[in-house]
Structure formats: C-alpha cells, structure tokens
Structure 1
Amino acid sequence: MKILITGGAGFIGSNLCEYFRNKGHEVTCLDNLSTGFEHNIKDLLDKENFHFIKGDICDLNTCKDAVKGMDVVLHEAALGSVPRSIEDPVKTNRNNIDGFLNMLVASRDEGIKRFIYAASSSTYGDNKELPKIEHNIGRPLSPYAITKFVNELYANVFADLYGLETIGLRYFNVFGQRQDPNGAYAAVIPLWVKELINHRSPVINGNGTYSRDFTYIDNVIQANELAVTLSKENIIKRASLYNMNLPGNAPLDLVFNVAYGGNTTLLNLFKCLRENLSRYDSEISTIEPKFRENRKGDIPHSLASIEKAKRILGYLPQYSATEGFEQACKWYWKNLQ
C-alpha cells in the first residue's frame, strides 16, 4: 500500500513509519518538525519506499499535495499535552481541529479509502466508570480533550456524508522508544527516566495514587496495522458478533480503545522505572521521588476496556506495561548516555 503518516517524525509516527516501510509498504511522512524530529527518521531518509515532506497540516494545499496517490492515511499529527493546551488553547485548536479537518477534506477529495486517526483517552473526561468503554464518555476536562472529541465528531460526519472509512484509535498513555524526554511538556515516563539517569528525584503530581493504563508502543503499532489491513467486510462480520449491527452499505466509522487493559499507579511506575534503571547504575536505587499538587485537567484514573478492539480488530497486545517499562528503560539507557 501507499501510506501517508502525518506527524511521522514524532514519537508514535516515526515508529509507524519504520514499521510499515519495513513491511514493504511505500510510506510518506508529513511533519512540520514542531514537535517531531528529523533524527527520529534519519535511518529511513535514504531508503527506498520512504519519502519525507516537511509541511504543516494547518495548510490545506500541503495536505492535498501529501495525499496524492495514497491508499490510506494514518493521521498522528497533533499538538499533544493537556498542560500545553491549557496554556495555549488557540494553538492547540488550530493544529488539532483545523489541521484535522484539512486532512479529512484532502482525503475526501483524493478518494482515500480509509482514514485512521489518533484519538485519545482524554475524551473520557470526568467519566468515573472503570474500565473505560468506547460508547460511554464524559465531559472533557481540557482544551486538548475537547479537540480530540471534536476529531471523532468530524470523522463520523465525513463517514456519513462522504463515505470515507474512518477508524479512531483512542490511545492510552503510549510510551516507548523515541518518546522525547526534553521540553516543558515531556511525558511522564521519558521525563522520569531522564531524571533518574541524571541522579535527580522525579516529581510526582499528587500523592502517587493516580493511575494510568500505560501502553507500550509495539501494541499501538499492532492496532494500527490491523486498522490498515482488515477489510470492511471482515470488520462488519466481526462487529455483528460483538452485537454491533453494521449493514454492508453503512459507512465505516468506528472508535477503539488502544491500551493494555491494566493500570499502574504513578508511585508504582516510579518504582518500576527505578528498579529497571538500577540494573545499569546501582546508585539509582537510592533515589526517592518528590511530590507536588495535582495538575489541572488531569483525570484521577484511566483503565481501558479493550474488548471491542479484541473482538472486531483482533487486537491482542503483546506487551504488558511492566514488560514495556523494561524495554523502554533499556532503550533510554543506551540512547541518553
């Protein structure tokens, strides 16, 4: 297939670029390098069947040029981070909603078969029900969460009105190789790993009892591959077994949780990272965390039901959070030295 991956120089996008290109697909990466990095795709730049376009999804013409000749779009480009969205909601909205709409319009006009996009667990908002089930969301708690919810609404409309096949993958706290440990909006795992490697105490927001369904990057790659390769007919057949009635002529518009299906408290996360990194440097075992008040917009607990993805996509995550922590620490120890 010819696959366009937006945000392809970012953490998740670059892993997808590498995987699909190595599987024999022709991959084009679109990224403006605002939060992605060319070094994430440096090993691909001189390879056959890989193309890099430096461009911005906020420009409709750039989007239209990028989708030409493509079979599938994997839309990963977005401005992440709840705190960033609270500080600058306008910029978050422009990238995550305007940019998303540009990609939908460009894909519709080009006749793209399927549009697969990075949705977010933040969409569940203040819904306290655990585990999180796709059809039961709450009130968004941040501008970022609002943008990701609006993405799902737009995808639904474009499926209904224009017949564009859309699949949203609600990522739950993805982590792994190439996740950036630097900057004001670094995610918790690479940030804490960097602190521990440098013999500094990581800071835990709250008392450490908040929990997350941490999801290793290889599980996310698996979900994306299934979303790319499964035929509409197979999806409809499996959906009927999941008590979802999807007529053959109905538009394809589905959303799936992509997670491991287990949760880890922040305090246990710290202990796991410290234990793994102590194998390389025994001094790390003596480091203790610091604590501060909870951040605005954070949800207390996140735990996904992955039954829908299992039954319809055939998603079977291969890495638990604990196994992923070990792999991530090994990669960071090698690459942050």
Structure 2
Amino acid sequence: MKYNEVKQELLNNQKTWLITGVAGFIGSNLLEELLILNQKIIGLDNFATGHRYNLEQVKKAVSKEQWENFTFVEGDMTDFTICHSVTKDIDVVLHQAALGSVPRSIDNPIATNNANITGFLNILTAAKDNGVKRFVYASSSSVYGDSEELPKVEEKTGNVLSPYAVTKATNELYANVFHKCYDMQTIGLRYFNVFGKRQDPNGAYAAVMPKWISQMLYNEDVYINGDGETSRDFTYIDNVVQMNILSAMTTNQDAFGQAYNTAAGGRETLNNLFIALKSGLESNIENLHIPKPIYKDFRAGDIRHSNANIEKAKNLIGYKPTHTLADGLVESIEWYINDLRGNK
C-alpha cells in the first residue's frame, strides 16, 4: 500500500498509538504527523535526551482539536509498572526511546544497556501482556559492525563495534523471538544517520548534521573526525516517519519478525557534507563566511562506510523515500536558520 493511501486510511480510521521517546527528535516528528492524521497518541518520555520544547513546537504545528488527542506521560521505561500502564488499550507501539550515540555507550555502557535493553524488554513485554500486536521499533545501522560489504543488506551483518550496537542487535533478537513465541507483529527499523528538524545540535553526543549547522551559524570551529572520507547514508526525517507509519499499517504477513534498512539508499563523505552545508548556509545568509574544518583523530567504534540497500523495505513494506540528501539539506538548513537564529 502506498503512503498516501495509508494516510487516507488513517484519516478515516482513528487508532491509538504509543510513541516512546515522544519528546525526542524522531518521536516528536512522528507525533506531529500522526496528530495531523487525527490519530490518538499516548507519549512516554523521561527527558534524558528529549526536550519539552519539541512538544511545544508540535503543539504549534497542529490544531487545538488535534493536540487534544495527545496524552503525555513522563516516565522511564526501566520502570515496568509505567510500561504496563502506557501499553493498555494501545493498537500500535512506535518504540523510539533509547540512549543513542556510540561514544556515549563507550563512556557509559551500563546506562546504555539499562535504557536500550532493559527498557526495551520492559516495553515489549508490557505490550505483549496487554495484547498489543503491532510493535515497530528503532534499530540501527550500527548492527552491521565491521562488515565491509556495500551496500548493506539486512541478512549480512558483521561483528558489532560498540556497546550501543550490542543493544540494538539484542533488540532485534528479542523482537524476533517475541514474534515467534507470542505471535507479535514486530518490525525493526535500522536507521541510517537520520537528520532534520528538531534534531538537537547541543551536547557532547550531538549528531554531526545539527552540530555542524549550529557551529557554522555561530562562527564556531567545525571538527571532522578522521580524514573526512568516512561516508554515511544520510536519511531525512520524513523518510523515517513514512517507514514507521507504513510498518505500523502493513497487512503483509511476510513483513513481521524482521528488520529493515531505513535510509535514502545513497552515501556521502563527511568532507562533501561539510561543503554542501557551507554552501547552503552561505547562500542563505549574507556575509556568512565559514572557515575550513579542523581534522581530529578517528572516533572509537565508528563504522568507516555506511550505505543501505533499501529493496527489502520497498518490496515488503512499500517504502518509497520522498527526500534525497540534497532535498533534506534544503529543508533542514531553512529550519535551523529560523530556529537557531530565532532563539539566539
């Protein structure tokens, strides 16, 4: 089923959704899209990495009637009682909550394990206990580890390279076992370097795209880890929102108990990304002059190259990316100029 058809179906039929990590970057974008589609949403977040102002921005983007379909619960997934409470009377779980970042997991593997494995198993088990059938969750391209094969295909992973990758690989194992043992309709989404509006540019573990845009706008030094020839499959947020909702609505019985690359299906080096961001910002802002980047050591646990084969997602889920990297950069640059300069 095509995405426009799915959206029309949702407009005609209201479901009740649980979004974990709803105040985060991806969670808040899912919330906005689903509220616009007149869905009923329960949102869970502990604000470890999410922000209240993301929810405020969603509130401004939707109608008063749509916003009234949203119920927020502040809580932590390591508390099973909370997980059990928020999964009652839910049709679909979109599980986005996690402690992201490879470097963060290397610095604090216990915290990453608690959030990403204990929390995941809690929400998965609570959903099962409450009779929730459809469970869509965020996995990661980090599960490919040291595999050098390009593009990445779902069936061929390597040895994982970080505690974060261990947690995401474990999520996939648990979800697939719950599909086999309890007949839950689980679908994992291996995100490839997602970027777009409301992605946090601040903090030690900020993603490269918003961090660089912020540094360029504020005339700060931009650092590149390694030689800049590391490449990534940068994936705009609208593609990820589409893949979540298609996965939540698919009727293809062959789609369950599996994980899917969620990406644009291309790759770009960090050096070329820097050039593209520099050009985009300087063409939008008069008298903005961005200096050359400063190169640092390679970062521990990083994959050298990342590029997704998205044929499986296309064939089994009906996924069709709407945004290339270039499309996403245009929208992201415009959003960050308005947001960061407006809040300076």
Return the TM-score normalized by structure 2.
0.91
The residue aligned with 1:243 is none
State whether structure 2 residue 154 is matched by structure 1 residue 115: no
Q: Which amino acid aligns with 1:330?
A: E
Q: Is the 8 A contact 2:219 2:290 kept in 1?
A: no
- Matched residue SS, 2:114: helix
The residue aligned with 2:23 is 9
The residue aligned with 2:258 is 254
The Cα of 1:44 is off from its aligned counterpart by 4.8
State whether structure 2 residue 106 is matched by structure 1 residue 86: yes
Report the RMSD for the aligned CA atoms in angstroms. Answer: 1.1
Q: In 1, Cα distance between the equivalents of 2:290 and 2:52?
A: 36
State whether structure 2 residue 77 is matched by structure 1 residue 53: no
Q: Describe the superposition over 1:277-334 as per-residue Cα deviations: whole angstroms up to 9, x where unpaired.
A: 1123244344211101100000100000000001111111010011111111110000
**Residue pairs, 1:207-226, within 5 angstroms:** 207-226=227-246
The residue aligned with 1:275 is 279
Q: Is the 8 A contact 1:275 1:285 kept in 2?
A: no
The residue aligned with 2:305 is 301
Q: Describe the superposition over 1:214-252 as per-residue Cα deviations: whole angstroms up to 9, x where unpaired.
A: 000000011011001111xx343xx6xxxxxxxxxxxx3
State whether structure 2 residue 52 is matched by structure 1 residue 32: no
Q: Which amino acid aligns with 1:288?
A: K
Selected match of 1:159 from 179, 187, 205: 179
**Count, aligned residues:** 321
Selected match of 1:327 from 317, 331, 344: 331
State whether structure 2 residue 189 is matched by structure 1 residue 169: yes
Q: Is the 8 A contact 1:274 1:284 kept in 2?
A: no
- Matched residue SS, 1:42: helix
Q: For structure 2, which runs of at least 5 residues remain unmatched after alignment? A: 1-14
The change in CA–CA distance for 1:117 and 1:59 in structure 2 (over 3 A counts) is: same
Q: Is the 8 A contact 1:235 1:312 kept in 2?
A: no
The Cα of 1:24 is off from its aligned counterpart by 1.3
Q: Which amino acid aligns with 1:299?
A: I
Selected match of 1:41 from 37, 55, 73: 55
Q: Which amino acid aligns with 1:322?
A: A
Q: Which amino acid aligns with 1:113?
A: K
Q: In 2, Cα distance between the equivalents of 1:284 and 1:168?
A: 41
Q: Which amino acid aligns with 1:42?
A: E
Kindly, what percent of the aligned residue pairs are identical?
A: 51
Q: In 2, Cα distance between the equivalents of 1:58 and 1:286?
A: 43
- Matched residue SS, 1:302: coil
Q: In 2, Cα distance between the equivalents of 1:18 and 1:235?
A: 28
- Matched residue SS, 1:74: strand
Q: Which amino acid aligns with 1:182?
A: N
Q: Which amino acid aligns with 2:80?
A: L
Q: Which amino acid aligns with 2:211?
A: L
The residue aligned with 2:292 is 288
Q: In 2, Cα distance between the equivalents of 1:127 and 1:267?
A: 23
- Matched residue SS, 1:336: helix
Q: In 2, Cα distance between the equivalents of 1:43 and 1:306?
A: 31
Q: For structure 1, which runs of at least 5 residues remain unmatched after alignment? A: 240-251
Q: Describe the superposition over 1:18-48 as per-residue Cα deviations: whole angstroms up to 9, x where unpaired.
A: 1111111101110001100111011456622
Q: In 2, Cα distance between the equivalents of 1:166 and 1:173?
A: 22
| Structure 1 segments (4+ residues) deviating >6 Å | none
Q: Is the 8 A contact 1:235 1:313 kept in 2?
A: no
Q: In 2, Cα distance between the equivalents of 1:268 and 1:278?
A: 15
Q: Which amino acid aligns with 1:194?
A: S
The change in CA–CA distance for 1:204 and 1:52 in structure 2 (over 3 A counts) is: same
The residue aligned with 1:228 is 248
State whether structure 2 residue 25 is matched by structure 1 residue 21: no
- Matched residue SS, 2:288: helix
Q: Which amino acid aligns with 2:304?
A: P
